[in-house]
Chain A
Amino acid sequence: MPENPLAVAMSGGVDSSVVAGMLRARGENVIGLTMQLWNQRRLPEIQSDKATGRCCSLDDVYDARAVAQHLGIPYYVVNFERDFEDQVVKPFVDEYLAGRTPIPCTLCNNFIKFDRFLEMAEGVGADRIATGHYAQIRWNPDNGRWEMLRSVDRAKDQTYFLFGLKQDQLARSMFPLGAMEKSAVRGLARELGIPTAAKPDSQEICFVPNGDYAGFIDAYFREQGIAPQEVAGELVTADGQVVGEHAGVHHFTVGQRRGLRVAAGEPLYVIATDPASRRVTIGRDRELLSDRAHASGVNWISIAVPSEPVRAEVKIRNKHAAAPAIVLPTSDPERVEIRFDEPQRAVTPGQGAVFYSDDLVLGGGWIE
């Protein structure tokens, strides 16, 4: 076997298939690995034929295997179901119950893809991994750091979910699609004869069919034997007036308008959720605005931990247009204060705050 094999995380989708194909075409010694993360036979009541965003279905594994066969590379499925449940699914559920709105993809990147998977790759003899993420990694000899940049195809950029990556993880990871437009990726898929070239993109949280995470959490509760009344509570206004009831704080996220079922003269939104009292506070749009936030668990990527305030554009959810702000260090090196130039709508606890300087990803943390 040639030296230095390279492991590609293959989901069965077009992107990771193209990664495997282009690296193989470049003469790399590619090993294909698919992570089995979630058993699709669990929670059957939320499954449907039309479900989108299903990870680890037998179809996906079939596709990944067909691609590996087409490319003539060794291919294996590795079972991380236990790790995924402990590190991603349970924290996802716990965060919702704690009144925050989690991002499981970031947890998965931090604890599964760039930790367990990297470890597995190294164990089988691969010193580098490649994934189909849309992001760029660059070595900066001036400051001696691995930098992360947004992908060339800005619409596909996934750096928001990658803020937790440490230097040693970046040093061993490759994102070959970061420099490509999605249309070029599809073109390359056809050129390489990849059998899944026409497969649609996955969009949702992979283990939650149709993006219905409240439905997922309800089904998960039933599986774990947690009764619905334990999570039900009241809808209140900012001055404490009870205006309705709800089936659990996990049905609500800050800024949400849908599903409140309270009649009022003007549109009402979720302002906050308090898991201790199981109360969901609702109010008017302007009550959602805030000009500052704190983030903890901060990881700095392209720059070292700053001692001075840093000017940055801060993204507070995936679809948010990054807003200019000052990021101020605190006495805790993993905690910062963010002061936005303009108040931002629905700064949501549990989401990431990712700091950019133009295309460069400076770092990011979790909104408190």
Chain B
Amino acid sequence: MKAVQRFYFDHNATTPVSPEVLEAMLPVLTEVYGNASSIHHFGQLARQRLDSSRKQVADLLGAEPQEIVFTSGGTEADNLAIFGVAIGSKAGRVVTTTFEHPAVLAAAAQLDHTLVPVDGRGMIDPEAIRRALRPNTKVISVMHANNEVGTIQPIPEIARIAAEAGIALHCDGVQAAGKIPVNAGKLGVALYSISGHKIGAPKGVGALYVRKGTALKPMMYGGRHERERRAGTENVAGAVALGRAAEWITQHGDAENRRQGILRDRLEQSILDRIPDTRVNGAGATRVANTTNIRFDGIDSDALLIALDLKGFAVSSGAACSSGAPEPSHVLLAMGLSRLEARSSIRFSLGRSNTIEQVDALVEALVDSVTHLRKLAPAYA
């Protein structure tokens, strides 16, 4: 069997560890093995690395280092934000949206909560958030950029509404950080989640920005790490990786995002031009530069995904259930697509490794596979 050349177009699922990140973290695993809480030399070395990483992450988010809590990833950051604020001294209500990531939706589902619907373009109306507020609402959680369609939400407007009501705003920034400039202070959020493995750091590290003065109850109890907001011996190598990834974005993010935007537009335009009956989910909204979600009428996206994978192209069609079988995307359903429409949609998410040649090869593979699949679809004539 001839080896297939493989191209990765699923960077919103995860990214490879970037070379400079690997270079920064590897020596930490072997040489800087001290416990950052230890008083001796070994501990101090680890503490230094942890502190400088925290500064790098803070710089990416326009925050102060003491506002950064390292976590095990985006899910923990989202959970800590929601439970940490909503539970507090007395349990309160959560207002969030129908198209959040499961890390927010499933956390909110544990509490008294309201889900604000998203419109057909994949945008949240800030006024709808205002109308959903109740006297016992303690936290609003709205994602910055959607993972599946890439639409960027009006966080500053929602932050003003939250501020007027005196409610903490949490923003899941896992799919925004690194893709658009983020300044937590200017956005006006109280809490902001990021994840390492979406931005070139490894799985298992993330961070939560917690604005100074925000009361946050920890979720895990143990030692007095992370200013008593997150117990557990610090993952120094992970933090170093996240810090280095953040630093790279601070230095090169704008240029790289422009480059990816050109590739994304080329991919999107080629598909729309060359394959009939296709449309962009979330078109008409401002989107992050690396993501496009396209509906191919008459196509079963699972079959298209497998056909593309067999040709060497990795893409995504909604979330996978526990067995690994795809289910129709709750994001697309929330945007008003029918089950059938959601099941004919594919997400392409670009990253640093993608080139123009790869994009062009992907378009050719898509033309082939979609033509083949449509020949078989009885409903599509």
Contact = CB atoms under 8 A, between A and B. Distances in A.
Contacts of B4: 1
A262 to B, nearest CB: 45
Nearest to B308: A124
Contact of A58 (B322, B326, B327): B322
B76 interface: no
Given A2-B2, A120-B302, A123-B300, A77 B310 contact: no
Nearest to A121: B303
Interface string B299-343: 010111011011100000000011111110000000000000000
B182 interface: no
Nearest to B374: A123
A330 to B, nearest CB: 30
B262 interface: no
B373 A123 contact: yes
A123 B376 contact: yes
A327 interface: no
B255 interface: no
A31 B325 CA distance: 16
Majority SS of interface residues in chain A?
mixed
B323 A36 contact: yes
Interface residues of A, number: 23
Given A1-B2, A1-B4, A120-B302, A125 B310 contact: yes
Contacts of A65: 324
A77 B323 contact: yes
B215 to A, nearest CB: 37
B370 to A, nearest CB: 11
Nearest to A75: B324
Nearest to A36: B325
Contacts of A158: none
A260 to B, nearest CB: 41
Q: Which of A5, A31, A81, A123 has its CB near the most chain B CB atoms (within 10 A)?
A: A123
Interface in A73-119: 74, 76-79, 81, 119
B1 interface: yes
Q: Which of B307, B323, B327 has the most CB of A within 10 A?
A: B323
Contact of A79 (B307, B311, B321, B372): B321
Contacts, number: 60
A29 interface: yes
Contacts of A34: 323, 325
A48 B324 CA distance: 23
A76 B306 contact: yes
A346 to B, nearest CB: 38
B302 A78 contact: yes
Given A31-B310, A125-B372, A79 B327 contact: yes
A175 to B, nearest CB: 23
Nearest to A73: B1
A325 interface: no
A122 interface: yes
B25 to A, nearest CB: 29
Interface in A1-39: 1-2, 5, 29, 31, 34, 36
A122 B323 contact: no
Nearest to B307: A124
Interface string B115-149: 00000000000000000000000000000000000
Contacts of A268: none
Contacts of A5: 310
Contacts of B310: 1, 5, 31, 74, 124-125
A19 B376 CA distance: 26
A5 B1 CA distance: 11
Interface in B202-222: none
B303 A120 contact: yes
Interface in A33-75: 34, 36, 56, 58, 61, 65, 74
Interface string A135-165: 0000000000000000000000000000000
Contacts of A61: 323-324
Interface string B1-26: 11010000000000000000000000
A21 to B, nearest CB: 15
Interface string B276-310: 00000000000000000000000010111011011
A74 B303 CA distance: 14
B156 to A, nearest CB: 39
B302 A79 contact: yes
Contact of A2 (B1, B300, B307): B1
Nearest to B326: A79
A185 B372 CA distance: 36
Given A122-B376, A123-B300, A78 B325 contact: yes
B79 to A, nearest CB: 22
Contacts of A81: 325
7 contacts: A1-B2, A65-B324, A77-B323, A123-B307, A123-B372, A124-B303, A124-B306
Interface of B: 1-2, 4, 300, 302-304, 306-307, 309-311, 321-327, 372-373, 376
Given A78-B302, A119-B376, 5 more contacts: A61-B323, A74-B309, A78-B325, A123-B307, A125-B307
